[in-house]
């Protein structure tokens, strides 16, 4: 349970940090090699990279408070899992020509994915153990 | 089919559809004024606009067949689509509501799903309270 909560908290902090920065300053996305062509671009980054990630962080905090461990960890694993797969596929398609920021992002997302997978396995084992005792 | 299943089905389709499109054609983002300049930019769009949306879509697809997850999934829906809508509305405010019709169309869809999720959550809570009240009366 403790590891599961640490895992959810780590996800909440990660998504909150990234989300709040791009919500306040969407132009910072240009450091990741993305250009904003017009005001619509700024709206999109604020909504998608800012609002959506802040919403995800909020969900992880609520999941922590309400003890929604399984749905919370599932969201953590699925979101980080697909980000990692898509980032790896993208890096391969671009012939490994990526900036150091891309590799650092991949490392952070992979860490959250592994933490989530370990946490859900430990949690399920504990639940099964408790059921066995009863 | 229950109301929740319909809501999760539409949300899953929306997220997964956009996610798959962005994974295969990251340059589609130029429709909304975002363009990849470098290889890293393309990787970033594929990872976040593609991968993240696909992951979220899959969660709602899983929630469809897990009645115990209905409440967490409805809360997730309100948080995610509410966050998206708020970000878009704030962005529109900053540019004096001067944006392409497509942005308004996307906002309408996001707002509709956020409100639908919130109203279902409130209604379910009311039904639960009513059932608890009736059970108490029956006991007396």
| Three-state secondary structure string covering chain A | CHHHHHHHHHHHHHHHHHHHHHHHCHHHHHHHCEEECCHHHHHHHHHHHHHHHHHHHHHHHHHHHHCCHHHHHHHHHHHHHHHHHHHHHHHHHCCCCCCHHHHHHHHHHHHHHHHHHHHHHHHHHHHHHHHHHC
pLDDT digits (tens, 9 = 90+) for B18-42: 999 999 999 999 999 898 888 999 9
The Cα of A93 is separated from the nearest Cα of chain B by a number of Å equal to 9
Number of domains in chain A: 1
Beta carbons of B80 and A44 less than 8 Å apart = no
Q: pTM higher than 0.90, yes or no?
A: yes
Tokens coding A31: 């450091």
Contact A83 B56 (CB under 8 A): no
User: With contacts defined as CB-CB under 8 Å, which chain A residues touch B48?
Assistant: 48-49, 83
**Complex ipTM:** 0.92
Closest residue in A to B104 (Cα) is A40
| Structural domain of A48 | 2-133
Domain boundaries, position B85: 3-139
What are the tens digits of pLDDT across the range A40-91?
A: 899 999 999 999 999 999 999 999 999 999 999 999 999 999 999 999 999 9
Number of domains comprising chain B = 1
């Amino acid at each position: 349970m403790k590891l599961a909560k640490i895992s959810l908290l780590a996800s909440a902090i990660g998504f909150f940090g990234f989300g709040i920065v791009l919500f306040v300053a969407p132009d910072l996305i240009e450091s990741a090699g993305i250009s904003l062509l017009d005001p619509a671009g700024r709206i999109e980054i604020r909504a998608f990279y800012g609002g959506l990630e802040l919403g995800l962080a909020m969900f992880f905090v609520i999941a922590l408070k309400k003890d929604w461990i399984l749905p919370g960890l599932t969201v953590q694993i699925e979101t980080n899992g697909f980000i990692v797969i898509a980032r790896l596929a993208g890096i391969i398609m671009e012939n490994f020509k990526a900036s150091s920021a891309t590799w650092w992002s991949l490392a952070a997302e992979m860490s959250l994915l592994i933490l989530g997978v370990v946490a859900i396995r430990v949690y399920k084992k504990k639940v099964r153990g408790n059921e066995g005792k009863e | 089919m229950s109301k929740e299943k319909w809501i999760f089905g539409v949300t899953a389709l929306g997220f997964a559809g956009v996610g798959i499109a962005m994974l295969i054609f990251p340059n589609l983002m130029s429709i909304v004024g975002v363009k990849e300049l470098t290889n890293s930019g393309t990787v970033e769009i594929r990872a976040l606009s593609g991968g993240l949306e696909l992951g979220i879509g899959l969660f709602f697809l899983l929630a469809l067949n897990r009645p115990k997850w209905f409440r967490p999934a409805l809360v997730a829906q309100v948080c995610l689509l509410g966050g998206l809508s708020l970000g878009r509305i704030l962005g529109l405010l900053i540019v004096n509501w001067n944006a392409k019709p497509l942005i308004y169309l996307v906002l309408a869809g996001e707002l509709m799903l956020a409100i639908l999720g919130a109203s279902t959550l409130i209604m379910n809570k009311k039904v639960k309270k009513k059932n608890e009240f009736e059970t108490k009366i029956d006991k007396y």
